[in-house]
């Protein structure tokens, strides 16, 4: 175990606390940057998908993990980002401004969703976001003049500094750079008064209100920021999939995004990346599994969502703190090796109480 003696103020606000962290995160950064030289094109493409998921994960984690507002409709923001970006590119807007426009539009949509969110909590909110997502999906399907409806919409090529996003290596670096920016932004946001207000709202709305936090303002802000990040991910996803159709952004997508943050570990930044890796490489895993299974089992309709569902259930029952929570426990076990007590992390159960009259 390591005990830090902080002697300077800079130490207290540093993102990386000690040399051990600097070494390991530095190594990770080197690996991420060196990935194009280590692995072939297909897996590089998958890694850029992971980076895109991580950006969306930052958005969703901010909302679900840090502000405590459950959203079952984040695919809608992904869709708004993707379609807006594609439309802007088609209209001749360059890559970066187009992404910015997509983010702003998505943020505006997030603020609209936040309007009912101010008056409700828990499942009501989850269902309101779900309803919003269904309406957006249907809207995209029927607004054919802009979105192409079910026929789909081809994503035009775009380039930055003369490099095209169809170039796998450049696209990978582009996604990773934006992912790092998003992560840094989230890390710093959470250390600011705004981020603290978000966490306070998550832990107890009533006490947050008592501390003088304007619920309406901060919930709207959380939704807007979350939607903006997800919209950015949507814009990048448009390039990744190359051809947009409304059913790419259906309910299952929303739930996969939520699955990502739950599997990673709610309320932790590390969890986003564990979750994104999980979500990005699960289809490969399932494809491998499909090859190994007898054909009668492998051709089940809905096998993939079914496996998603089973994993979600398993995760919630066995390890509600997510992959990152599990890693923390393993690390603590190693730290305290001979002294670890079996019940250190015994889950506290609480009895249910509601304020219902009937």
Partner 1 sequence: MDALQLLVAGVSQGCVYGLIALGFVLIYKATEVVNFAQGELMMIGAFIAYTFINILAWPYFYGVLATLLSMAVIGVVLERLLIRPMLGEPPFAVLMLTIGLGFLLRAVAGAIWGAEPKTLSTPYASDVLQLGEIIVGYGNLAIVLGTGVLCLALFLFFRYSRLGIAMQAASQNQLAAVYSGIPVARLVTGVWAVSALIAAIAGVLVAPVSLIDPQIGFIGVKAFAAAIVGGFGSLPGAMVGGLLIGIAEQFAGLYLPPGFSDVTAYIILLVMLFVRPQGIFASMMQKKV
Residue 128 in the binding site for partner 1 (CB under 8 A): yes
| Binding test (CB under 8 A) with partner 1, winner from 131, 146, 286, 328 | 131
For the purposes of burial, counting CB atoms within 10 Å of the CB of 227, is it exposed (0-12), middle (13-18) or buried (19 or more)? buried
Q: Considering the rule CB under 8 A, would residue 285 count as an interface residue with partner 1?
A: no
Does residue 159 belong to the site contacting partner 1 (CB under 8 A)? no
Whether 80 and 247 have beta carbons less than 8 Å apart is answered as no
x/- mask, partner 1, residues 241-270, rule CB under 8 A, reads: ----------xx--x--xx--x--------
- In the complex with partner 1, which residue's Cβ is closer, 6 or 142? 142
Residue closer to partner 1, measured from CB, 175 or 272: 272
329-334, Cβ contacts within 8 angstroms, sequence gap of 24 or more? none
Residue identified by tokens 């990673």 is 264
Q: Is 162 left (phi over 0), alpha (psi -120 to 50) or beta?
A: left
Q: Distance between CA atoms of 219 and 107, rounded to whole angstroms?
A: 13
Q: What is the DSSP string of 234-262?
A: HHHHHHHH-EE-GGGGSHHHHHHHHHHHH
Q: Which of 86, 124, 125, 80 is nearest to 105 (CA)?
A: 80
284 binds partner 1 (CB under 8 A): no
Is residue 5 within the footprint of partner 1 (CB under 8 A)?
no
- Residue closer to partner 1, measured from CB, 187 or 216: 216
Identity of the residue, 13 or 318, whose beta carbon is nearer to partner 1 in the bound complex = 318
Q: Which residues bind partner 1 (CB under 8 A)?
A: 70, 115-116, 119-124, 126-128, 130-132, 134-135, 138-139, 141-142, 204-207, 251-252, 255, 258-259, 262, 297, 300-303, 305-313, 316-317, 320, 347, 349-358
């Amino acid at each position: 175990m390591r005990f830090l003696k902080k002697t300077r103020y800079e130490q207290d606000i540093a993102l990386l606390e000690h040399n051990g962290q600097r070494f390991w995160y530095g190594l990770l950064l080197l690996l991420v940057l060196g990935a194009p030289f280590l692995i072939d094109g297909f897996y590089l493409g998958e890694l850029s998908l992971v980076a895109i998921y991580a950006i969306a994960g930052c958005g969703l984690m901010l909302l679900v993990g840090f502000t405590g507002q459950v959203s079952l409709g984040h695919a809608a923001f992904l869709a708004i980002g993707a379609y807006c970006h594609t439309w802007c590119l088609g209209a001749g807007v360059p890559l970066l401004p187009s992404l910015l426009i997509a983010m702003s539009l998505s943020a505006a949509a997030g603020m609209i969703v936040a309007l009912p969110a101010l008056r409700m909590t828990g499942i009501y909110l989850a269902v309101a976001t779900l309803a919003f997502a269904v309406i957006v999906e249907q809207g995209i399907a029927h607004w054919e003049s802009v979105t192409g409806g079910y026929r789909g919409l081809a994503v035009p090529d775009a380039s930055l500094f003369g490099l095209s996003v169809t170039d796998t290596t450049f696209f990978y670096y582009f996604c990773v750079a934006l992912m790092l920016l998003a992560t840094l932004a989230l890390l710093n946001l959470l250390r600011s008064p705004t981020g603290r207000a978000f966490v306070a709202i998550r832990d107890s709305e009533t006490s947050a209100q008592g501390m003088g936090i304007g619920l309406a303002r901060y919930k709207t802000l959380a939704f807007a920021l979350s939607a903006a990040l997800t919209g950015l991910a949507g814009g990048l996803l448009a390039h990744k999939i190359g051809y947009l159709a409304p059913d790419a952004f259906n309910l299952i997508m929303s739930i996969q995004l939520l699955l990502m943050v739950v599997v990673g570990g709610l309320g932790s930044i590390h969890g986003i990346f564990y979750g994104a890796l999980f979500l990005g490489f699960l289809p490969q895993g399932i494809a491998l599994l499909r090859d190994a299974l007898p054909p009668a089992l492998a051709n089940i309709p809905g096998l993939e969502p079914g496996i998603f569902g089973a994993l979600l259930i398993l995760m919630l029952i066995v390890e509600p703190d997510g992959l990152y929570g599990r890693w923390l426990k393993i690390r603590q076990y190693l730290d305290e090796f001979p002294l670890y007590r079996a019940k250190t992390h015994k889950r506290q159960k609480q009895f249910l109480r509601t304020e219902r009259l009937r």
